[in-house]
Structure 1
Amino acid sequence: MTERGLGMLARPSLYSGEPLAAIIEHYTSAALLHAVADQHRLGRRLLVATTNLDTQETHIWDMGAIALSAQEPGNEHQALALFRTIMTASASVPGIFPPIPIADGNTSEIHADGGVNVPFLLLPEALVQWQINQPSLMPGKIFIIINAPMAPRNNQLSGGAVAIMGRSFDSLSRANLRMHVAMATAFAHRHHVQLRYAALPSDLDTDPLDFEAARMAGLFDLGVARYTDLTQGLSDAPLAESVP
């Protein structure tokens, strides 16, 4: 292996995390935190998951509570910085973007994309096998929108090591999604709760590093269409159903 190759192995990621952090800083304003705090007061919850690489555990952040704390005198700057840091960490795919240190008291923990452990957040991992015995705690309906393809895709692989690693990661991600959907479905069946989910088409060409505005708008429109399909005909839907 060349010296250049060894140097790449020593780097924390293929790409710098500064552009990602800059995008999040641009769109995460004080006004956004006020809006999140207002919805938090109404009982809605915005939860974001990151993966603590030090402990290999999923960390669930109550972003509404953080936004609400920004309205405490003298705490706006600190709360906004933490909000942005968590959002950046939750989008920092290991190997692609560097992990993000988050202070916890006198120590600092390294956090990365929550999808390392959980591709979507339904319940804390320890509660997946939980049997709810109190009717007041029983969920009504569960909707899952997956912003990635889930079904396997059959197309010829060509290229070198990078292409092979990319295809392997894609295969692993899709298998992980299917496993977590199966776990969520089992939870819903066990509690007689309606669950519906939608994912991107399996043959859709997706590039997680392509943030071009037109492409993002197209994916957003596709998500809106999938959401509309997901929420139609609820009274006749089975306990678990996918949107094709």
Structure 2
Amino acid sequence: MPPSVAIIGVTLLSAVAGCHTSRGPLARAASPTDVGLNTRDVVDPVAQPLADAALTTLDASTPAREAGDAARERAGAAAQDARHVLCLSGGGSYGAYAAGVLCGWTQSGRRPAFDVVTGISTGALIAPFAFLGPRYDGAIRHFYTETRTRDVYVKRPVRGLFSEALADDAPLRRTIDGMVTWGFVADIAAAHREGRRLYVGTTELEGRRFIVWDVGGIACRGRPDDRALICDVLAASAAIPGFFPPVRIPVSIDGRVLAEKHGDGGVTQGIFFRPPWPPDRPAAGTRVWCVVAGKLYADPAPLRPRALAIAGRSLSDIIFAQTRGDLQRIYTLAQLNGMDFQMTAIADDFPAPAESTEFNPPELRAMFDEGFRQARSGRAWRGTPPGVAPGEAPRERAGTCLTEVPKR
């Protein structure tokens, strides 16, 4: 036997033996969530206070704030001249919260007209209505309080294993087709000609790149396929890869007609920003509003000891982290350019449903009502990015002796 093979064999045997020993009784031990603990509140009483103190001392946002103040001063930006950018994240059925925020904001009398609206996934479905103003509040309220799962997709688990999707999104496509009328397209085009902008993000699945679609620009082309392309873009942005089929969008590359495969924009970005038009005008004084369709941090939950369950949970955690990272980037961009940053998300203690792919009207109405109440009262917004509020700092440990410190 070659020495290298022998070494590999011994290493594998050692690993197997080590894994077997380490699992032992711990494989049957209860986890913190099994016994009802909220793992958000579990900390190392020695290490965590030191970590929190260190992060408080090192205020990394101070240089950014100073740069933003200087930008505002140079631009002489006046509050009455402020422009408004609305950024809508993905989140499936949690979009009910975002819809509630918009409707409650209207009721408060403080909702501005948006110069730019961006949307991804469920945010892409809301974005055109938010862009066109409060007269469409009834439409988003109806969709995000009355829709059932069967109105969005039909599961096909057996066929799906041998095709490109586990579900058929034909019901959602019919809904989009009914909402995006030629009159709707004309309204988007009129707003675009006034200098306002509507953008939707998708993922080009073969190129593995985030694509930003200028929906108003499409509406202004004056072509017979404008409405169909807008419908395709909205459907693609909400097409969860593997769950919904990719949307094939025809493109012409140097005269050759080909078909790109587009899917959920949330695969490559959780939320995104675009500046007001024209882009050469100073951004200082612009107000950036980020609405997260969901929570900033996933709720703790017991983990099934199955490979697919673990992989699915980990993918979900990556998406949560990606959205937080995108928000932090938008915040930094806002600070450096003298823009005002505000964001809202479902509160940690709100009993949100476990699955964002399930549409259950009572749960949708609860999330809608929560967003509505928060926005109408003015309590929805915070001016800081994820990671700086109490309890949001990374957990630091110097050992395994922990304690539970519930948030007040």
TM-score by length of 1: 0.77
Of 297, 301, 307 in structure 2, the residue corresponding to residue 151 of structure 1 is 297
Shift of 1:50: 0.5
Partner of 2:171: 19
Q: Give distance in 1, aligned partners of 2:246 and 2:285.
A: 34
| 1:43 lines up with 2:195 in the alignment | yes
* Conservation of the 8 A alpha-carbon contact between 1:149 and 1:200: yes
Partner of 1:52: 204
Of 190, 195, 215 in structure 1, the residue corresponding to residue 341 of structure 2 is 195
One-letter amino acid matched to 1:11: S
Q: Which runs of 5+ in 1 are unaligned?
A: 125-131
Higher relative contact order (CA 8 A, sep 6+): 2
* Conservation of the 8 A alpha-carbon contact between 1:198 and 1:227: no
Partner of 2:220: 68
Shift of 1:17: 2.6
Q: Give distance in 2, aligned partners of 1:212 and 1:63.
A: 30
Kindly tell me: are residues 220 and 43 of structure 1, through their superposed partners in 2, closer, same or farther at Cα, counting changes over 3 Å? farther
Cα deviation per residue 1:34-63 (whole Å; 9 max; x = unaligned)? Answer: 222222233221110001112111111111
| 1:177 lines up with 2:323 in the alignment | yes
* Conservation of the 8 A alpha-carbon contact between 2:169 and 2:244: yes
Q: Give distance in 1, aligned partners of 2:376 and 2:303.
A: 34
* Conservation of the 8 A alpha-carbon contact between 1:53 and 1:112: yes
Moved more, 10-19 or 101-110: 10-19
Partner of 1:209: 357
Q: Give distance in 1, aligned partners of 2:380 and 2:304.
A: 41
One-letter amino acid matched to 2:330: A
One-letter amino acid matched to 1:208: S
Q: Give distance in 2, aligned partners of 1:232 and 1:7.
A: 43
Q: Give distance in 2, aligned partners of 1:28 and 1:103.
A: 19
Moved more, 108-117 or 195-204: 195-204
| 1:31 lines up with 2:178 in the alignment | no
Partner of 1:115: 266
* Conservation of the 8 A alpha-carbon contact between 1:196 and 1:230: no
Q: Give distance in 1, aligned partners of 2:229 and 2:209.
A: 19
- Name the larger-Rg structure: 2
| 1:95 lines up with 2:246 in the alignment | no
Kindly tell me: are residues 215 and 37 of structure 1, through their superposed partners in 2, closer, same or farther at Cα, counting changes over 3 Å? farther
* Conservation of the 8 A alpha-carbon contact between 1:49 and 1:59: yes
Shift of 1:90: 0.5
Cα deviation per residue 1:95-154 (whole Å; 9 max; x = unaligned)? Answer: 110111111111211111111111112149xxxxxxx9x762446111100112212322
Kindly tell me: are residues 142 and 221 of structure 1, through their superposed partners in 2, closer, same or farther at Cα, counting changes over 3 Å? same
Q: Give distance in 2, aligned partners of 1:212 and 1:27.
A: 21
One-letter amino acid matched to 2:352: L
Q: Give distance in 2, aligned partners of 1:231 and 1:38.
A: 33
Kindly tell me: are residues 222 and 34 of structure 1, through their superposed partners in 2, closer, same or farther at Cα, counting changes over 3 Å? farther
Q: Which runs of 5+ in 2 are unaligned?
A: 1-156, 391-408
Shift of 1:222: 3.4
Kindly tell me: are residues 11 and 230 of structure 1, through their superposed partners in 2, closer, same or farther at Cα, counting changes over 3 Å? farther
Q: Give distance in 2, aligned partners of 1:231 and 1:135.
A: 31
Q: Give distance in 1, aligned partners of 2:368 and 2:189.
A: 24
Partner of 1:128: none
Shift of 1:175: 1.1
Shift of 1:214: 5.0
Backbone CA RMSD of aligned residues? 3.2
One-letter amino acid matched to 1:118: Q
* Conservation of the 8 A alpha-carbon contact between 1:66 and 1:79: yes
Q: How many residues align?
A: 223
Shift of 1:197: 0.7
